A and B are shown apart, each in its own frame.
Chain A
Amino acid sequence: MKLVAIVGTNADFSYNRLLLQYMQKHFQAMADIKILEIDQLPAFSIDEPLDMKVWSFKKAIQQADGVIFSTPEYDHSIPAALKSAIEWVSYKQNALYHKPAMIVGTSYGPQASARAQEHLRQILASPDCDAYTLSGNEVLIGNAAKVFVDGNVTDAKVRAELESYFNNFVDFIDTTAPKEDDSMPKQPYLDDAYIKFPTGSLSFREVQQIFATIPFEIDLIDHTDHFTWYSNKPNREHVRYPNEIGEGVDECHPPKVLPIVMKIINSFKDGSRDSVSRPLMMHGHRVLIQYYALRDVDGSYLGTIEFTGSVEHILNFYDQGAWGESDGTTGASQADATSGATDASGDAAADATSGASAHDEAASDAPAAENADTTDAPDATSGASEH
């Protein structure tokens, strides 16, 4: 279980920070708790663009199974710095939506931060946050200077209470958080419906599985610059989460790359470009990212699609001379040797479901496109569909 714990103050010294550090250590067998500080975040403003630190802070919350807030009390409420962090996190794409949350707090005096915690509950219940806050289980640790000795909770009663409440929070996450299986949609909603194309029809199930099978992953930024869809290919290069869907392009990209992304999108919108390719290394292999302007038949802009995929297998073919020289004959024999095209040409009938219609087209299109002879064409098409 992955949790984040937010230190609710920007002060240099805080017993609330000590409390979270203690919880991190004490509960390490139950959960991996990452502590987030708010002192480096800028003050919330609707007029300021998303800052890199805010972006990372928000992403950490979005990807966690739950959030622990440790709040001090300033003037009977939560500190402005914590309120500001919550405003950033919930503004535009709300990272706290249905996120299991636990509130804890400690103070030098006997009251802990009872009233601030009550305000925080109300804030987290607002429609802007809509977090799933664990009710009851109030962690109110007063007299912090006596309770914490060398970073440990010395009072056995306080410790037992904290353990019991944290257990409840873990159970609460198990019951409220979406099941592991739900994190990736397995099937579209209308799995028995068909989409009719001029070139044939596909069931929703087939569409879904095509996207899950092709060796490239696809992301869509729609015409309003929102991330609206990604293909559910297994082992994606870019790991995406369902709760990122609906984010603005400024929210789903780190601020430092945003200008590059916007330059591409804007050039698609104004029609000056139709595609951009970007080769790079990811996870230790060679990857090609290709952006394409998605346009309707009249040419008006529908969005930007991003194709990402490993090109290792293509480059391996290339290295082995799969396409040979410009001389068609050598090309054909080399292709046979490496891709098992002898099978492929013989298997054209076995591959018939996908091959049949494509085959004819390929046979007529390929020679012109590839500048190769006819013996080459079947190999090229079946090879492509196989990998």
Chain B
Amino acid sequence: MKFVAIVGSNANQSVNRQLLQFMQRHFDDDQLDLVEVKPFPMFNENHPVTDPEPAVQLAEQIESADGVIIACPEYNHSVPSGLKSVIEWESYRLHPFKNKPVMIVGASKFAQGSSRAQLHLRQILDSPGVFAQVFAGNEFLLGQAKDAFTVEGDLKDQGTIDFLTLCYNGFKDFVAMHQAAQEAQA
């Protein structure tokens, strides 16, 4: 399968980017294309008059992918503004998330693993302007993420890798079910 994997942080150093890079290598039967939020301008409904290039490009990527994986950090108990801005661009004139399966993962420095931001993100993706099909349950919350990776960028703990694999395979089943249902409807 082919997934777009959005790095929800615009920081130079990000454990969420590391997590997606690991998934990209580890689940190499599938294609995971990483997308950065940094090149996106801050969403503004008046400026620019047309959608910015990164937004158009991401919309095309999402349209042609089987699903989207979002790695979400937590800033002030919510979604970072950089990621929220990208979702706003993709729910204003463009609507690539419509009916698109989405999986949420997240990592943080302390114990919570971005739990509260992930809940906000679910609600945001559920809104009518976005209309994504968010994969329920399977909360992958990587706490203490600074110590979770080896120097090569692999997850150290086998239990964590097993759970991530379980969530990821579950998501692939969800995507397959969703696609079958779409075909049956058509």
Interface residues of A (CB under 8 A from B): 10-12, 39, 42-47, 74-77, 79-81, 83-84, 86-87, 90, 115, 119, 122-123, 125-126, 128-129
Contact = CB atoms under 8 A, between A and B. Distances in A.
B75 interface: yes
Contacts of A128: 75-77
Contacts of B81: 43-44, 80-81, 83-84, 87
Given A74-B129, A119-B78, A128-B76, 19 more contacts: A42-B42, A43-B82, A44-B80, A45-B38, A75-B88, A77-B78, A77-B120, A77-B123, A80-B88, A81-B44, A83-B75, A83-B84, A84-B85, A87-B75, A87-B80, A115-B123, A123-B76, A123-B77, A126-B77
10 contacts: A10-B42, A43-B82, A77-B120, A79-B43, A79-B84, A80-B43, A83-B81, A87-B76, A115-B123, A119-B123
B87 interface: yes
Contacts of B85: 43, 80-81, 84
A126 B130 CA distance: 26
A11 B46 contact: yes
Nearest to A83: B81
B11 interface: yes
Contacts of A86: 76
B109 to A, nearest CB: 12
Given A46-B11, A84-B85, A75 B78 contact: no
Contacts of A129: 76
B78 A123 contact: yes
Nearest to B11: A46
B175 interface: no
Contacts of B77: 122-123, 125-126, 128
Chain B: number of interface residues, binned into ranges: 20 to 34
Contacts of A79: 43, 84, 88
Interface string B1-41: 00000000011100000000000000000000000001001
Contacts of A47: 10-12
Interface centre among B81, B127, B130 (most CB of A within 10 A): B81
B45 interface: yes
B34 to A, nearest CB: 18
B44 A44 contact: no
Interface centre among B42, B46, B76 (most CB of A within 10 A): B76
Contacts of A119: 78, 120, 123
Interface in B57-81: 75-81
A83 B78 contact: yes
A76 B43 contact: no
Interface string B109-141: 000000010001001101101100000000000
A80 B84 contact: yes
